Amino acid sequence: AQSVTQPDIHITVSEGASLELRCNYSYGATPYLFWYVQSPGQGLQLLLKYFSGDTLVQGIKGFEAEFKRSQSSFNLRKPSVHWSDAAEYFCAVGAGGATNKLIFGTGTLLAVQP
Amino acid sequence: DADVTQTPRNRITKTGKRIMLECSQTKGHDRMYWYRQDPGLGLRLIYYSFDVKDINKGEISDGYSVSRQAQAKFSLSLESAIPNQTALYFCATSDGLAGASGANVLTFGAGSRLTVL
């Protein structure tokens, strides 16, 4: 069965510092992988996705993520965090095709210090 | 107007009451979903529908029912609400074209916060 683990419940970084949010997945085949962001009081917005091809994917707002099959990971990174990046971040894995369901991780809440 | 609209945005109700959360979309997507979000648990799938005649249970469907009234409308009902159904509920849609990579990309509504006293 598919599963997603986000080991960090809460992370605090200083504005301008780099960021890496961890995501590990469990799935037998090549997964579809996603990062979503939820700002306070908002729905979830897609940051980026990986389906195939280049393992380093670029997303919106300056985020990127790298798919590492050997580590079953899809970590999200940003070189310089802005105060507006404070939000909750969710990693998700999908089986694709007919099943087309996403399984979400429990989320990582990012706080940004001035 | 938002692509995926949820009503109501906030609702407080009492134990035992029947509640309906509604979702409508202008994306033209075939697939619609209801998720529940609880702190520390992330999002869990309640029900999903791949077209008007197709309804499927998710991982936490007990205590909930759904209705797909049209391609654009998907409602979630709590027949007899209980306090542990207090949560933030999200509707989402996705493109159902067979083999399309976009089939897994969900578009979310803004959420409906339900409190059951």
Residue numbers in B near A6 (CB within 8 A): 42
Enter the DSSP assignment of A16: T
Structure tokens belonging to residue A30: 């090549």
Each residue's pLDDT expressed in tens, for chain B with a length of 117 residues: 679 999 999 999 999 999 999 999 999 988 899 999 998 889 999 999 988 999 999 989 999 999 999 999 999 999 999 999 999 999 999 876 545 555 568 899 999 999 999
Percent of chain A with pLDDT over 70: 95
Q: Do A43 and B90 touch (CB under 8 A)?
A: yes
CB-defined contacts A:B, below 8 A: 61
B58 in contact with chain A, both atoms CB, cutoff 8 A: yes
SS (H, E, C) chain B: CCCEEEECCEEEECCCCCEEEEEEECCCCCEEEEEEEECCCEEEEEEEEEECCEEEECCCCCCCEEEEEECCEEEEEECCCCHHHCEEEEEEEECCCCCCHHHHCCEECCCEEEEEC
Q: Choose the weakest-confidence range: A3-7, A41-45, B9-13.
A: A41-45
Average pLDDT in the A77-98 region?
88
Alpha carbon distance B88, B46 (integer Å): 12
Q: Do B94 and A100 touch (CB under 8 A)?
A: yes
B4 in contact with chain A, both atoms CB, cutoff 8 A: yes
> Nearest CB to B43: which of A9, A90, A98?
A90
Average pLDDT in the A77-100 region?
86
> Nearest CB to B42: which of A32, A43, A107?
A107
Q: What is the pLDDT of residue B98?
A: 47
**Beta-carbon-side half-sphere exposure of residue A45 (alpha carbons within 13 Å):** 15
